[in-house]
Each structure stands twice: as structure tokens, then as C-alpha cells.
């Protein structure tokens, strides 16, 4: 895991490289967590990549919603990265929904989704993976009420923890 303070133009290049990583054969797509103070421009920055090929840009999500909507495109290999504008949105739901989201994302970005059998989804295919690029405020990240660290989310999801050093004029 790498922690760094970085200028937004360099961060934009890093996001671009992470998105390219989704197209390397036999490699897991890189994931990024962008941590910064409110109003620092983090959502504006990731929004620039919303229309890239192989990317879906979400403002909110649940595990069920991602499975229902994007599992076919993930299976076809057409979706390489999920960008979530603010992780606090999916983490602000009921505890069971948040736990399900974290567990699903852990699988999706680390070892890959192999098999799902629930009341809503019956799926079996090996190694479906994608990267995650998301933003969160520094205060929300450190809020002790959240238990995402205890579920291994940050270690699995984030190869890079990045804080924006300054907002460009």
C-alpha cells in the first residue's frame, strides 16, 4: 500500500494509468482510493473519467445493484473499472447492506467473483474482476463508526491511498 500527497495533475495521470491497468492481460486492475478534505476537487477529478470506455461512474451503489446491472458486462470483460464518486454514499446505508457491499467489492477487486447464489442472482463463472476508483473525505475515512477497515476493504481495494495536496486554480 502506498500513501502519498500528490498534486491533482499528477493524480490525473495516476488515474489514467490505473484505468489502463484493466487492459493488461493476466493482471488484476489497479484500484485507487482518493482521500481529501471536503471541497478539494476529488469528485470533479474522477468525473473527468466517467465516459471512458470500460468504466462505469456511480454516485451510489449496492452489491445487489452492481450484480443486477453490471454482472453481464463484467462477465464479457467490457467493464474494467467502477468509479464511485463518494464512498460515503454506499457506506451510509443499513449495516447489512454496507457489509454486503464491502464483501462483494472485496471479491470483485481482489480474487475475482467466481460464483453467486442468492435469491436474486444465480451465477457461476471464474475470475470476474475489475478495479475500483473511489473518493472519500479524510474525516469520513477515520470515522470510528465505520468498520470497513475491519472487513479488509482498504487492504484489498486500495493499492494506493492518495491525498490531494492542493487544488489547482
Q: List Cα–Cα distances, 63 to 14, 87, 103, 123, 149, in angstroms.
A: 27, 13, 8, 14, 18
Q: Are 29 and 130 in contact (CB under 8 A)?
A: yes
The distance of Cα 135 from the centroid of its chain, to the nearest Å, equals: 8
What is the pLDDT, as a whole number, of residue 33? 86
Q: Are 14 and 133 in contact (CB under 8 A)?
A: no
Distance CA 80, CA 65 (A): 17
For the stretch 45-59, pLDDT in tens is: 999 999 999 999 999
Which pTM value belongs to this model? 0.82
Q: List Cα–Cα distances, 95 to 91, 92, 102, 148, in angstroms.
A: 8, 8, 11, 11
For the stretch 80-108, pLDDT in tens is: 999 999 999 998 899 888 888 888 888 88
Joined together, the cell numbers standing for residue 118 give 442468492
Q: How many CB atoms lie within 10 A of CB 1?
A: 9
Joined together, the cell numbers standing for residue 4 give 502519498
CATH class of 2-164: alpha beta
Q: Which residue has the cell 486500495?
A: 158
Quote the percentage of the chain above a pLDDT of 90.
Answer: 30
Calculate the average pLDDT of the chain: 79
pLDDT at 37 over 70: yes
Strand partners, 114: none
Question: What residues have CB less than 8 Å from 152, skipping those under 6 apart?
Answer: 106
Question: In 3D, which of 140, 113, 164 has the Cα closest to residue 7?
Answer: 164
Distance CA 98, CA 91 (A): 5
Question: What residues have CB less than 8 Å from 64, skipping those under 6 apart?
Answer: 100, 120, 121
Joined together, the cell numbers standing for residue 117 give 447464489
pLDDT band for position 19 (cuts 50, 70, 90) = very high
What is the pLDDT, as a whole number, of residue 83? 97
pLDDT band for position 34 (cuts 50, 70, 90) = confident
pLDDT band for position 160 (cuts 50, 70, 90) = very low
What is the pLDDT, as a whole number, of residue 148? 62
For the stretch 102-156, pLDDT in tens is: 888 888 887 666 555 455 555 555 677 899 999 988 888 777 776 666 666 666 5
Amino acid at each position: 500500500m502506498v500513501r502519498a500527497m500528490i498534486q491533482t495533475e499528477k493524480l490525473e495521470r495516476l488515474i489514467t494509468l490505473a484505468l489502463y491497468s484493466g487492459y493488461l492481460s493476466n493482471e488484476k486492475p489497479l484500484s485507487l482510493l482518493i482521500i481529501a478534505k471536503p471541497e478539494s476537487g476529488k469528485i470533479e477529478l474522477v468525473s473527468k473519467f466517467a465516459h471512458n470506455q470500460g468504466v462505469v461512474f456511480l454516485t451510489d451503489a449496492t452489491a445487489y445493484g452492481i450484480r443486477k446491472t453490471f454482472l453481464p458486462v463484467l462477465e464479457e470483460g467490457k467493464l474494467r473499472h467502477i468509479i464511485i464518486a463518494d464512498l460515503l454514499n454506499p457506506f451510509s446505508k443499513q449495516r447489512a447492506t454496507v457489509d454486503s457491499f464491502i464483501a462483494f467489492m472485496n471479491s470483485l477487486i481482489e480474487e475475482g467473483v467466481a460464483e453467486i447464489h442468492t435469491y436474486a442472482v444465480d451465477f457461476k463463472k471464474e475470475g470476474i474482476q475489475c478495479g475500483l476508483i473511489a473518493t472519500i473525505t479524510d474525516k469520513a475515512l477515520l470515522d470510528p463508526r465505520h468498520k470497513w477497515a475491519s472487513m479488509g476493504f482498504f487492504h484489498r481495494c486500495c493499492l494506493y491511498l492518495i491525498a490531494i495536496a492542493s487544488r489547482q486554480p
